[in-house]
């Protein structure tokens, strides 16, 4: 078994009196394709925000490759190798697609000068190279999602977190994004996929953790998860 | 590197042209008005480093400007310090204010940051009003040291302000084209995404408030010698807050050229109106022009040109 790349240990996150995450513990192994699912409001995005640093965990520890990152600001975590895409795309609107990639290349990918060639490579790989000179406002929904992934890739991550990169896309487009994620995984990048589209998560993930109401209720292979009684209960009720 | 030296040469050429202009002994009023316009080039450029590049709208321009001016007043009274010292000290004190305000308020975003800076101006003015040493609410007369290095005082200060304007614009241009400027642009577009892409947003914002504060203080430091009578209402004038914001918006906030164009256009229009019609017309002009731009060319003249070219 490979060593864990990401360790989340007893993480608690409260918003006022509401406990969004209640002692969540999980491990993601290096090179793994990891699925994180759960009904709406179950705490998936909150957990991801705690891992990426946008939110700070109230309790518990988070470690990346053995290093404690619980209190690091997001940009330091990115430099250590965590990159994410956002559920609602957040492109840099005043920049072209290529310039969007040059920010992480320069700030996190250690390409202090330029990075234009690297940006072009990533865009080609993701299939956005024809749009490199456009502003994000001129992109379609799927291109916007691809830009999110491309920009995350430009940070040269060890761990890529894809937060609902496929929500609202057509079936063919979902396959398109899945193919990209499979290719990135084949390059050795560890991927956490958060997704509501079950067909995609089940096909992609080697291992899945299920959250419900801020608690971890199940873990297993896709085949185990679909048969898990607690999961069925969480999604369908009693 | 070649580009950087070209910038220096261009800057030096502008200052030399200014000095040549100063020796021409034109109508003194032209230097007097020119000083005000150049002062606005510095103010607009300084404001734009935080407001335009980083997208944090600062309503507290008068606070930084007046702090530069009052630092100079205090140093003139206590030490008879020479002008270069006044300028440097005024800049540094305002830079410290910028840094401090940055630490306290940059966790606030958008409108909340702007409100905090507005309050800053009010608080600082109240403090100055109650500080007798620098004149309190009555104001203070500043006696210029006899004999400026060349020409008369108006011509000399005009040249000094021209040099400061060149320095301010050069600094803004350097920032804009560096990794710092690209990081600021990223956080202006989306702060959370920028932070998650490795941009140290807090540090960059503190840098922007500090540099912006420094240049605003620098613009204020020669003010006591220019007007020779400093009192809180003129040093903390609302005009500075409004113009600092209006000029970059009219010119265009995303490039160093924008504030320069805006300051020259609006500043000249105001000077012209002051002479030909009335001094009270200034803010009215700003208001009308600003409304026009917000409606017709929200990205300023630069944006307008870009749009026309794109077609």
Cα B307 to Cα B311: distance, rounded to the nearest angstrom: 7
A61: left (phi over 0), alpha (psi -120 to 50) or beta: beta
Res. A114 pLDDT band, cuts 50 70 90? low
Chain A residue with minimal CA distance to B193?
Answer: A90
Asked if pLDDT for residue B108 goes beyond 80, the answer is no
Q: Which of B115, B126, B137 is nearest to B231 (CA)?
A: B137
Instruction: Over range A98-117, report the average pLDDT.
Output: 81
Q: How many CB atoms sit inside 10 A of residue A160's CB?
A: 22
- Strands B229-230, B140-141: pairing is antiparallel
Q: Which of A41-45, B68-72, B149-153 has the highest mean pLDDT?
A: B68-72
Chain B residue numbers with beta carbons less than 8 Å from the beta carbon of A151 are: 193, 197
Res. A2 pLDDT band, cuts 50 70 90? low
A11, A117, B192, B228 from B195: Cα distances, Å: 22, 23, 5, 47
Interface of A with B (CB under 8 A): 52-54, 73-75, 78-79, 83-84, 86, 90-95, 99, 102-104, 106-109, 112, 151, 154-155
Contacts of A91 (CB under 8 A, 6+ apart): A100, A136, A139, A144, A147, A148, A151, B189, B190, B193
Q: Residue A238 in 3-state DSSP?
A: coil
Q: How many CB atoms sit inside 10 A of residue B20's CB?
A: 9
Phi, psi of A220 (to 5 degrees): 165, -175
Asked if pLDDT for residue B1 goes beyond 60, the answer is no
Q: Give first-to-last CA distance, chain B, whole Å.
A: 34
Q: Which of A72, A68, A64 is nearest to A159 (CA)?
A: A64
Q: Which residue has the higher pLDDT, B277 or A205?
A: A205
Q: Which residues of B98-132 are buried (b: 16+ CB within 10 A; e: fewer)?
A: bbebbeebbeeeeeebbebbbebbeebbeebbeee
The chain-wide mean pLDDT, for chain A, equals: 90
What is chain A's alpha carbon radius of gyration, rounded to the nearest angstrom?
17
Give Cα B34 distance to the centre of its chain.
Answer: 15
Yes or no: say if B249 and B293 are a contact pair by the CB < 8 Å rule.
Answer: yes
- Strands A18-29, A4-15: pairing is antiparallel
Per-residue pLDDT at A34 = 95
pTM of the model: 0.89
Best of A69, A81, A103 to substitute, by most chain B Cβ atoms within 10 angstroms, is A103
Least confident of A191-200, B85-94, B269-278: B269-278
How close, in Å, is residue B262 to chain A by CA atoms? Answer: 21
| 8 Å CB contact of A103 and B182 | yes
Which of B179, B185, B195 is nearest residue A94 as measured by Cβ atoms?
B185
Tell me the sheet residues that pair with A36: A194, A209
Residue-wise pLDDT tens digits, B133-180: 998 899 999 988 887 877 788 889 999 999 999 999 999 999 999 999
Best of B193, B194, B254, B300 to substitute, by most chain A Cβ atoms within 10 angstroms, is B193
Chain B residue numbers with beta carbons less than 8 Å from the beta carbon of A160 are: none
The structure tokens listed for B266 are: 């609006």
Q: Give first-to-last CA distance, chain A, whole Å.
A: 36
Strands (E), B168-251: 229-230
Asked if pLDDT for residue B253 goes beyond 50, the answer is yes
Residue-wise pLDDT tens digits, B281-302: 777 888 888 888 888 888 888 8
| 8 Å CB contact of B202 and A73 | yes
| 8 Å CB contact of A94 and B254 | yes
Chain A residue numbers with beta carbons less than 8 Å from the beta carbon of B183 are: 103, 107
Number of H helices and number of E strands within chain B?
Answer: 15, 2
| 8 Å CB contact of B193 and A102 | no
Give the number of beta-carbon pairs within 8 Å between A and B: 77
Best of A51, A75, A119, A158 to substitute, by most chain B Cβ atoms within 10 angstroms, is A75
B128: left (phi over 0), alpha (psi -120 to 50) or beta: alpha
Which of B179, B185, B198 is nearest residue A79 as measured by Cβ atoms?
B198
Best of B190, B198, B203, B299 to substitute, by most chain A Cβ atoms within 10 angstroms, is B198
DSSP state of A64: E
| 8 Å CB contact of A90 and B193 | yes
Residue-wise pLDDT tens digits, A153-188: 999 999 999 998 888 889 999 999 999 999 999 999
Least confident of A217-226, B44-53, B82-91, B213-222: A217-226
Cα B199 to Cα B193: distance, rounded to the nearest angstrom: 9
Helix, strand, coil shares, percent, chain B, to 5: 80, 0, 20
The structure tokens listed for A69 are: 């990152």
The residue length of chain A stands at 238
Asked if pLDDT for residue B64 goes beyond 60, the answer is yes
Instruction: Over range B25-35, report the average pLDDT.
Output: 84
Tell me the sheet residues that pair with A6: A28, A64
| 8 Å CB contact of B198 and A107 | yes
Chain B residue with minimal CA distance to A150?
Answer: B197
Instruction: Over range A56-62, report the average pLDDT.
Output: 94
Best of A106, A107, A122, A135 to substitute, by most chain B Cβ atoms within 10 angstroms, is A107
Chain A residue with minimal CA distance to B178?
Answer: A113
Phi, psi of A188 (to 5 degrees): 100, 5
Instruction: Over range A193-222, report the average pLDDT.
Output: 92
Cα B242 to Cα B234: distance, rounded to the nearest angstrom: 14
B110: left (phi over 0), alpha (psi -120 to 50) or beta: left
Yes or no: say if A98 and A49 are a contact pair by the CB < 8 Å rule.
Answer: no
Which of A90, A108, A112 is nearest residue B190 as measured by Cβ atoms?
A90
Q: How many CB atoms sit inside 10 A of residue A8's CB?
A: 23
Q: Which of B64, B84, B35, B93 is nearest to B226 (CA)?
A: B35
Least confident of A1-10, A60-69, A108-117, B74-83: A108-117
Cα A136 to Cα B267: distance, rounded to the nearest angstrom: 36
Tell me the sheet residues that pair with A105: none
Per-residue pLDDT at A113 = 58
The residue length of chain B stands at 311
Yes or no: say if B35 and B158 are a contact pair by the CB < 8 Å rule.
Answer: yes
- Strands A33-37, A18-29: pairing is unpaired
Instruction: Over range B257-285, report the average pLDDT.
Output: 86
Give the position of tokens 């150049």: B38
Q: Which of A79, A53, A75 is nearest to B186 (CA)?
A: A75
How close, in Å, is residue A229 to chain B by CA atoms? Answer: 37
Its ipTM equals 0.89
Q: How many CB atoms sit inside 10 A of residue B257's CB?
A: 18
The chain-wide mean pLDDT, for chain B, equals: 89
Task: Count Cα atoms within 13 angstroms, Cβ side, for A14.
Answer: 7
Yes or no: say if A201 and A208 are a contact pair by the CB < 8 Å rule.
Answer: yes
What is chain B's alpha carbon radius of gyration, rounded to the nearest angstrom?
19
Q: Which residue has the higher pLDDT, B40 or B307?
A: B40
Asked if pLDDT for residue A109 goes beyond 50, the answer is yes
């Amino acid at each position: 078994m490979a060593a864990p790349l990401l360790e989340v240990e007893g993480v608690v996150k409260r918003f006022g009196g509401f406990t969004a995450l209640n002692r969540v513990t999980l491990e993601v192994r290096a090179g793994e394709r990891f699925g994180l699912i759960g009904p709406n409001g179950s705490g998936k995005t909150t957990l991801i925000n705690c891992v990426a640093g946008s939110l700070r965990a109230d309790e518990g520890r988070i470690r990346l490759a053995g290093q404690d990152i619980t209190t690091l600001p997001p940009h330091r975590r990115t430099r250590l190798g965590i990159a994410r895409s956002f559920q609602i795309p957040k492109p840099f609107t005043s920049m072209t697609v290529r310039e969007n990639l040059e920010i992480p290349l320069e700030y996190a990918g250690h390409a202090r000068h330029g990075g234009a060639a690297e940006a072009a490579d990533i865009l080609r790989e993701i299939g956005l190279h024809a749009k490199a000179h456009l502003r994000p406002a001129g992109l379609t929904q799927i291109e916007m999602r691809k830009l999110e992934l491309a920009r995350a890739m430009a940070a040269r991550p060890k761990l890529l977190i894809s937060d609902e990169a496929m929500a609202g896309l057509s079936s063919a487009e979902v396959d398109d994004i899945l193919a990209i994620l499979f290719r990135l995984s084949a390059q050795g990048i560890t991927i956490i996929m958060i997704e509501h589209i079950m067909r995609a998560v089940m096909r992609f993930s080697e291992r899945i953790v299920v959250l419900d109401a801020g608690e971890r209720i199940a873990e297993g292979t896709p085949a185990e998860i679909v048969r898990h009684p607690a999961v069925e209960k969480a999604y369908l009720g009693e | 590197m070649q580009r950087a030296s070209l910038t220096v040469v261009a800057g030096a050429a502008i200052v030399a042209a200014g000095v040549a202009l100063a020796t021409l002994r034109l109508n003194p009023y032209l230097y007097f008005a020119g000083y005000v316009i150049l002062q606005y080039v510095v103010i607009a450029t300084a404001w734009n480093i935080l407001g335009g590049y980083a997208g944090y709208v600062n309503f507290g321009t008068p606070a930084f400007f007046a702090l530069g001016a009052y630092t100079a007043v205090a140093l003139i009274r206590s030490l008879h310090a020479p002008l270069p010292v006044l300028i440097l000290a005024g800049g540094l004190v305002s830079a410290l204010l910028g840094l401090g305000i940055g630490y306290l308020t940059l966790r606030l975003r958008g409108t909340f940051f702007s409100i905090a800076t507005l309050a800053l101006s009010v608080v600082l003015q109240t403090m100055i009003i109650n500080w007798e040493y620098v004149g309190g609410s009555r104001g203070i007369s500043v006696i210029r040291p006899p004999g400026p290095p060349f020409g008369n005082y108006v011509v000399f200060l005009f040249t000094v302000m021209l040099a400061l304007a060149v320095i301010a614009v050069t600094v803004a241009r350097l920032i804009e084209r560096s990794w710092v400027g690209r990081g600021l642009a990223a956080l202006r577009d989306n702060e959370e995404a920028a932070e998650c892409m490795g941009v140290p947003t807090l540090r960059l914002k503190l840098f922007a408030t500090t540099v912006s504060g420094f240049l605003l203080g620098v613009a204020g430091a020669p003010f006591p010698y220019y007007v020779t009578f400093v009192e809180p209402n003129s040093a903390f004038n609302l005009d500075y807050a409004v113009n600092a914001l209006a000029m970059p918006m009219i010119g265009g906030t995303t490039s160093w050229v924008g504030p320069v164009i805006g300051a020259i256009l609006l500043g000249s229009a105001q000077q012209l109106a002051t002479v030909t019609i009335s001094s009270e017309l200034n803010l009215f002009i700003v208001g009308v022009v600003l409304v026009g731009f917000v409606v017709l060319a929200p990205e300023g003249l630069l944006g307008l040109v870009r749009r026309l070219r794109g077609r």
